[in-house]
């Protein structure tokens, strides 16, 4: 009788210089994931945490625009030094390439870039590193899930069914890979008009229904507000530029909830 081959025990390593790793993901593009990640990181900073923000979207990096970062990171020949902006340690492939240059890379090159960002960046004394994941369920997600100790993932979606179909695939992927899903965010949940009424532009209740179906927490709702896009386009995310805005308070409450509920020793 043949002996069964032994399975390799892969040890996931934390990103050096960090304590907790939180991924922000959605298998669907265009749902506001990068905007959420940047404002969530700033909200954690406003709670007194030391925070890093890693833009892991190799094909469509958003951090240079959202944080208005134009300079390139310094290097000592072995490690890249994160760029500090708004009190956040930042890294993105967009810091290393021209803004209009397309990343025409195959999977192995993407995997190599991700390993550089997780193993060759001099992150320093971070309580949290927030990873802005790319859309989809491909090489980047698998590389992080298999090699990096992620302490949890926050999944972003709009309420419409088209977005939720892909989000459900993402939930199943993280469950299959054994990554804890902290909860779901109902983004662009509604628009509140000048008349005080709420208008559900992308539908209503879809994210809550999906959370219940998969046994996940619904962390909260973020409404549509013109200032979110405006401040992001100007490179000054709303939590940083308008800390007393109602949207900023929502982000602060979400960050406080995640920190207290899932990272009690912080």
Q: If we measure between CA atoms, which residue out of 57, 55, 134 comes closest to residue 89? A: 55
Residue-level pLDDT at 87: 98
- Give the tens place of pLDDT for each residue, 56-76: 887 778 999 999 999 999 999
In the chain the domains, ranked by start, together with CATH numbers, are: 18-50+124-262 (3.40.50.300)
Is residue 146 left, alpha or beta, with left meaning phi > 0 and alpha meaning psi from -120 to 50?
alpha
Q: If we measure between CA atoms, which residue out of 66, 119, 78 comes closest to residue 229? A: 66
Residue-level pLDDT at 187: 94
Q: Who wins on pLDDT, 175 or 28?
A: 175
Q: Who wins on pLDDT, 117 or 40?
A: 40
- Give the tens place of pLDDT for each residue, 110-156: 778 888 888 999 999 999 999 999 876 667 777 777 778 899 999 99
Residue-level pLDDT at 207: 93
CA distance 214 to 227: 33
Element (H, E) at 209: helix 206-214
User: Mean of the pLDDT values across residues 227-253?
Assistant: 96
Residue-level pLDDT at 69: 96
Residue 161's beta-bridge partner residues?
A: none
CA distance 243 to 48: 14
pTM given for the model: 0.89
109 in Cβ contact with 3 (< 8 Å) = no
42 in Cβ contact with 88 (< 8 Å) = yes
pLDDT beyond 90 at 254: yes
Q: How confident is the model at residue 86 (pLDDT cuts 50, 70, 90)?
A: very high
Residue-level pLDDT at 149: 87
């Amino acid at each position: 009788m043949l002996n069964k081959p032994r399975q390799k025990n892969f040890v996931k390593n934390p990103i050096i210089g960090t304590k907790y790793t939180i991924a922000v993901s959605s298998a669907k593009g265009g749902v506001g994931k990068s905007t959420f990640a940047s404002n969530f990181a700033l909200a954690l900073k406003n709670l007194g945490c030391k925070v890093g923000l890693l833009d892991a979207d190799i094909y469509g990096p958003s951090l240079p625009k959202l944080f208005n970062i134009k300079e390139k990171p310094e290097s000592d020949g072995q490690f890249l030094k994160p760029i500090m902006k708004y009190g956040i340690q930042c890294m993105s492939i967009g810091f290393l390439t021209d803004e209009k240059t397309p990343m025409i890379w195959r999977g192995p090159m993407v995997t190599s870039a991700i390993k550089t960002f997780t193993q060759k960046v001099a992150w320093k004394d971070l309580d949290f590193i927030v990873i802005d994941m790319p859309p989809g369920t491909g090489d980047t997600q698998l590389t992080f899930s298999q090699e990096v100790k992620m302490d949890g993932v926050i999944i972003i979606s709009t309420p419409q069914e088209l977005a939720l179909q892909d989000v459900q695939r993402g939930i199943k992927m993280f469950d299959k890979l054994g990554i804890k899903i902290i909860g779901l965010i109902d983004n662009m949940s509604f628009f509140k008009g000048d008349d005080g009424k709420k208008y559900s532009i992308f539908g209503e209740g879809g994210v809550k229904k999906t959370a219940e179906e998969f046994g996940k927490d619904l962390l909260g709702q973020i409404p549509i507000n013109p200032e979110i896009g405006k401040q992001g386009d100007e490179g000054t995310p709303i939590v940083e530029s308008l800390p007393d805005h109602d949207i900023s308070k929502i982000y602060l409450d979400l960050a406080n909830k995640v920190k207290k509920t899932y990272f009690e020793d912080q």
